[in-house]
Amino acid sequence: MDKNEYTSHIEKVLISEDEIKQAVAKAGKMIDDICDGRPVRLVSILKGAFIFLADLCRAVSVPCEIGFMAASSYYSGTESTGKVDITLDLSQDISKYHVIIVEDIIDTGRTLKDISDMLRKRSPLSLRIITLLDKPSRRTVDIKADYSLFTIPDVFVVGYGLDCGEYYRSLPYIAVYRE
């Protein structure tokens, strides 16, 4: 795809770089407050949450460790296939840790439900969920984030880590994608 085609799919900016920055700073303080000086393990779900995690962990001042998991639910295009595969698991034991799952977006909720059920079985000291974006109107399973930075309508978005066919992750803002 060339540059013209690339930009032609950006309908409009939904959440600006500045709005994201402010919300991430606030989320970092909230994590500091709930951890109250104790270390936290931030578990990020690849790939969509990688930029959010990178900014969020630098907004936190309690001792913080990073872990990665990967799951695929969208294989291409903008519709969920409904099937969640855990393609990468944590390399660390979480049983003695306060864990926060860092997610890019909760759509149907299936990915997060599978991952949080799986991690809860490993008996972490506590397990919370923080998501950059929430699309509550699309939920098909019963799951809620403990903290959500932005609630958005039922539109397909890209940028700040979120992709369409692997493109647009590097945009510094969240934009509505046009087919």
Question: Quick one: CA dihedral 122, 125, 131, 132, positive or negative?
Answer: negative
* Options 53-61, 85-93, 101-109, 152-160: segment touching Mg ion (CB under 5 A): 101-109
Between residue 68 and residue 97, which ones bind ligand IMP under the rule CB under 6 A? Answer: 73-74, 80
User: How many positions of this chain bind Mg ion (CB under 5 A)?
Assistant: 2
Catalytic residue check, 107 = yes
Q: Which of 97, 134, 129, 95 is nearest to 113 (CA)?
A: 129
48 binds Mg ion (CB under 5 A): yes
Tell me the C-alpha distance between 65 and 57, whole Å. Answer: 9
Tell me the C-alpha distance between 24 and 148, whole Å. Answer: 10
Nearer CB in complex with Mg ion: 48/109: 48
106 binds ligand IMP (CB under 6 A): yes
Tell me the C-alpha distance between 7 and 5, whole Å. Answer: 6
* Options 50-58, 62-70, 98-106, 119-127: segment touching ligand IMP (CB under 6 A): 98-106
